[in-house]
Each structure stands twice: as C-alpha cells, then as structure tokens.
C-alpha cells in the first residue's frame, strides 16, 4: 500500500512543477506583451542619413541631437520652425519634413533675437 501511495506522490510532483512553470511563463509573456503595447518615450530613426529622435513625454524632436522647434496646434497637427507653412500629423513627420528642408545643412538653434 505504501509503495502505491509513494508512486502517486512522486508522479504528482512533476505535474505540479510543470504547472507552476507554465504559470510563470504565462505571467512573464503577459508582462512582456503589456510592455510592448505601451509606447516608449523615445523613438529614434535614421532618415536620409540624419538621426531624428522624438520624445513623447517632453514633446520634443531632435535632429542629429539638435532641438527642432515644434508647436502642437491641435490633435494631429504639428508645425516646425523649418516648415512653418506645412502642418504635419505627427512630430516624426515634422522632423522628416525638416530634414527634407535642410537638404544636408545642419539645424541651427532657433533664437528669439535677431542681430
């Protein structure tokens, strides 16, 4: 009798361990999927040889690590100092348009005073 109970107990342990392992994997996958669904603050891409970095939290765009003056006019409406006649739907699109307008030149800091 004892031999039969011991065999049952040993057989049940691996099933419990496997079940616990599957629960951990499922929880880990769910956390990873949730993190993937949340937008990251910084997005960086290379466009026509230039590096564009967009920060969602700060609402800033940088081209080759230099700030691009950007104004949010409303939902899906952004205007940059480089292209003040063209409204873009996203900060990234405004950054790309600024790179197009720069035509290889460096982005200069925008100032409030003219000499």
Tell me how crowded residue 59 is: count the other CB atoms within 10 A of its CB: 12
Q: What would the mean pLDDT of 9-30 be, rounded to a whole number?
A: 52
Torsion of CA 71, 75, 77, 78, to 10 degrees: 30
pLDDT level of residue 30 (50, 70, 90 thresholds): low
DSSP-derived 3-state class of residue 71: strand
pLDDT of residue 95: 94
All structural domains of the chain with their residue ranges: 1-38, 42-102
Tell me how crowded residue 101 is: count the other CB atoms within 10 A of its CB: 14
Contacts of 42 (CB under 8 A, 6+ apart): 53, 54, 55, 56
Is 25 a residue whose pLDDT tops 70? no
pLDDT level of residue 27 (50, 70, 90 thresholds): low
pLDDT, one tens digit per residue, over 31-88 is 555 545 555 789 999 999 999 999 988 889 999 999 999 998 988 899 988 887 889 9
- Give domain 42-102's CATH architecture: 2-Layer Sandwich (3.30)
Query: Helix (H) and strand (E) counts for the chain?
Result: 2, 6
* Cα–Cα dist 63/55, whole Å: 12
pLDDT, one tens digit per residue, over 93-105 is 999 999 999 988 8
């Amino acid at each position: 009798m004892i031999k039969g109970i011991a065999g049952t107990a040993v057989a049940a342990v691996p099933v419990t361990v496997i079940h616990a392992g599957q629960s951990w994997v499922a929880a880990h996958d769910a956390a990873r999927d949730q993190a993937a669904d949340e937008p990251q603050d910084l997005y960086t891409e290379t466009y026509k040889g230039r590096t564009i970095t967009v920060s969602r939290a700060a609402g800033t765009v940088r081209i080759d690590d230099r700030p691009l003056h950007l104004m949010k006019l409303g939902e899906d409406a952004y205007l940059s100092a480089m292209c003040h006649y063209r409204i873009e739907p996203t900060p990234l699109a405004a950054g790309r348009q600024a790179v197009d307008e720069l035509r290889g030149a460096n982005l200069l800091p925008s100032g409030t005073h003219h000499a």
